[in-house]
Amino acid sequence: MKRKVTTKSKVWLETFLGLAILLLIGFIATIKFDRFDLTEEKRHSLTASTIRFMEDLDDVVYIKVFLDGDFPADYQRLRQSIKEKLDEMKAYAGDKIQYEFINPSAAEDRQSREEMYGELVKKGLNYTSLQIREKDGISEKIVFPGALISFKDKEFPLQILQNQQRATDAQMVNRTINNLEYSLVNAIYQVKETDRKKVAFVEGHGELSPIETKSIETELEKHYDVDRVDISGMINSLSRNIAGEGSRFNRYDAIIVARPTEEFSEQDKYIIDQFVMLGGKVVWMLDAMQVSMDSLLTSDVTMALPLRTNLDDLLFKYGVRLNRDVLLDRTCAPISLLTGPPGNERSELFPWYYKPILIPQESHPIVANVDPIVSEFIGSIDTVDAPGISKKVILTTSEYTKILKSPARVSFNIVSIDPNFGNANRPNQPVAVLLEGEFESNFANRLPPNFYDERILDFRDRSPYTRQLVIADGNVAANPVSTDGKKFRELGFDPVIGRKMYGNGDFLVNALNYLLGDAALISVRSRSIALRKLDDEQIIQEREQWQVINIVLPVVFTLIFGLFQWFFRKRTYSKRSN
């Protein structure tokens, strides 16, 4: 009898201690919030800047994700990743983040579905016509892999999966998942931002025309107020005085110099220099050599000659030098040429070595998870000594690169031969360099007399901490334009392949985000999640087998465990009763 009482007391004591421990854990959880991520890539964790951004939300952000229904495995994985990311954001933002998943194809009648599709397209979301492979054939399904982000009275469309193909491969989905935190944070940032920064394209020196930069301007307008400004020696074009007191401040936060073909005057250089000295950011997209494709179309050969823009001394002072050369690269885009006898020509694709494809190798936020970037007649960059300036090479050519020094012969005949890189191979040539630090003015101690009225100059000989990006190709921001000059294609679109192939747009948007210090937008870019892909063919062949295993085995193990526990308890208590 005494043993029974002792056993009973022991059970009650263990129960009491268990409840006490649970209550203690619950109490600690109410005063200290933490989350644990045991995955190798920390895929379920947010960056510190995103956490701060979520905690600082001052009103409800409502997110409608149009990715619900019966999808293939890749889309299911994308949907689950979106839900997990939104749950993680909600853990820090609380009720300030609300979301729902919607199936736009849920309506039973065709008319209702088409009305829903039309409304989503009108709001800025694109659909994908998805072919689903099944045992008895192939079915087609309309999918909207996007979301609508609402904040107060504003709404922002987010195209989560940037898919220009009918088929969606696992690599594309994985890149989308890698960028998921950035995409969601960026969309929320855009829908709630009221004080937008200002970016201007510089004009007046033969730069890319508005139609040639229309695609990237459209993308940048989602983040910033975008303008075009003709300097033309006007001291107040980029900065102005404060109420005539002599001190100046910048009109813009950043400027873009996109493929100038004419010389900059000393006045214009001074205006840009002082823009930098006041803390302005600059993206330079410059050609050191001039090549005319029009001349090449009418002749078998043309020459690449030095392009004089009068910017060499300015860039040298800031820490870089553009070399007078043209780079050939085995990793390149194709070109379509007519071959065969007259009257029986046919179009064929050849490697166009003058059009290198730059594959980002760095983990820097500007290029992390960005698709390959296409260039044309690109040159190399050297870094030079500039006290207080850090230089970071963020883009290079491939390991098979050849340098053509000025003057360089350019001909279509190169497609018929394999360039003998051999001893002439100069791998991994720098083509884009990020400069950060306190820059010294190019005009320090050499300002010409009567240059400007000194009362309005407010000359600065050193900048605060600021950033510049120098790219040795002026075409990196140029979108394809129709022959009549009235229509344009998306930046990164390859006219030869017939679809968007390259990440030029993402690269330039990231560059501006980084230069302008949008921490919530840039710090999430360097995250990379490894793809552990299943075998699609094996899934189809063994689907039913694994379904049976997943359903039956847990039941069998549960029954075995229950029988074992029953037998063990019966044997134990039988001994005690004896």
Q: Which pLDDT value is given to residue 293?
A: 77
Dihedral sign, Cα of residue 507, residue 508, residue 511, residue 513: negative
Q: Which pLDDT value is given to residue 452?
A: 59
Average pLDDT, the chain: 83
Q: Which pLDDT value is given to residue 314?
A: 96
Q: Which pLDDT value is given to residue 168?
A: 52
Given a contact cutoff of 8 angstroms between Cβ atoms, the answer to whether 53 and 137 are in contact is no
* Mean pLDDT computed over 457-463: 85
Express each pLDDT in 145-179 by its tens digit.
889 999 988 888 888 876 544 445 667 777 788 77
Q: Which pLDDT value is given to residue 20?
A: 84
Express each pLDDT in 109-152 by its tens digit.
888 888 888 999 888 888 877 766 665 666 677 888 889 999 98
Q: At residue 410, what are phi and psi to the nearest 5 degrees?
A: -120, 125
The Cα 43–Cα 53 span in angstroms is: 18
CB within 8 A of 452, min separation 6: which ones?
235, 267, 270
* pLDDT at position 358 over 80: yes
Distances (CA, A) of 442 to 319, 433, 461: 11, 19, 8
Q: Which pLDDT value is given to residue 164?
A: 46
pLDDT band at 462 (very low <50, low <70, confident <90, very high): very high
The Cα 472–Cα 377 span in angstroms is: 9
Q: Which pLDDT value is given to residue 315?
A: 96
* Mean pLDDT computed over 307-334: 94
Q: Which pLDDT value is given to residue 173?
A: 79
* pLDDT at position 537 over 70: no
If one counts every other C-beta atom within 10 angstroms of the C-beta of residue 135, the result is 8
Share of residues in the chain with pLDDT > 90 (%): 34
* Mean pLDDT computed over 42-53: 75
Q: Which pLDDT value is given to residue 486?
A: 85
From the number of C-beta atoms within 10 Å of its C-beta (0-12, 13-18, 19+), residue 167 rates as exposed
* Mean pLDDT computed over 417-430: 81
* Mean pLDDT computed over 493-513: 88
The Cα 335–Cα 374 span in angstroms is: 13
* Mean pLDDT computed over 343-369: 84
Given a contact cutoff of 8 angstroms between Cβ atoms, the answer to whether 528 and 368 are in contact is yes
Nearest CA to 378 out of 463, 286, 300, 458 is that of 286
Q: Which pLDDT value is given to residue 165?
A: 47
**Tokens matching residue 237:** 């074009």
* pLDDT at position 362 over 70: yes
**Weakest mean pLDDT among 1-10, 309-318, 436-445, 457-466:** 1-10
Q: Is 326 helix (H, G, I), strand (E, B) or coil?
A: strand
* pLDDT at position 361 over 60: yes
Rg (CA), the chain: 31
Express each pLDDT in 268-280 by its tens digit.
999 999 999 999 9
Q: Which pLDDT value is given to residue 368?
A: 79
* Residue 8 CA from chain centroid, whole number: 64
* Mean pLDDT computed over 425-452: 84
* Mean pLDDT computed over 225-240: 91
The Cα 521–Cα 182 span in angstroms is: 6
Highest-pLDDT range among 26-35, 131-140, 223-232:
223-232
Q: Which pLDDT value is given to residue 257?
A: 97
Q: Which pLDDT value is given to residue 529?
A: 47
Given a contact cutoff of 8 angstroms between Cβ atoms, the answer to whether 504 and 374 are in contact is yes
User: What DSSP assignment string belongs to 22-79?
Assistant: HHHHHHHHHH-------STT-TT---HHHHHHHHT--S-EEEEE---SS--HHHHHHH
CB within 8 A of 556, min separation 6: which ones?
none
Express each pLDDT in 478-502 by its tens digit.
999 988 888 899 898 888 888 888 9
* pLDDT at position 346 over 90: no
Given a contact cutoff of 8 angstroms between Cβ atoms, the answer to whether 246 and 252 are in contact is no
* pLDDT at position 264 over 90: yes
Q: Which pLDDT value is given to residue 33?
A: 52
Alpha helices in 65-159 (DSSP H): 73-93, 110-122
The Cα 262–Cα 284 span in angstroms is: 15
* Mean pLDDT computed over 290-294: 81
83-88, long-range: CB < 8 A, 24+ apart: 84/44, 85/180, 85/181, 85/184, 86/184, 88/35, 88/44, 88/45, 88/46
The Cα 508–Cα 367 span in angstroms is: 9
Q: Which pLDDT value is given to residue 227?
A: 96
* pLDDT at position 262 over 60: yes
Q: Which pLDDT value is given to residue 225?
A: 92
The residues pairing with 141 across neighbouring beta strands, listed in sequence order, are 130
What b/e string do you get for 443-473 counting C-beta neighbours within 10 Å, with b at 16 or more? beeeeeeeeeeeeebbbbeebeebbbbbbbb
The Cα 82–Cα 164 span in angstroms is: 20
Q: Which pLDDT value is given to residue 501?
A: 85
How much is the pTM? 0.72
* pLDDT at position 520 over 70: no
Q: Which pLDDT value is given to residue 377?
A: 92
More confident residue, 81 or 445: 81
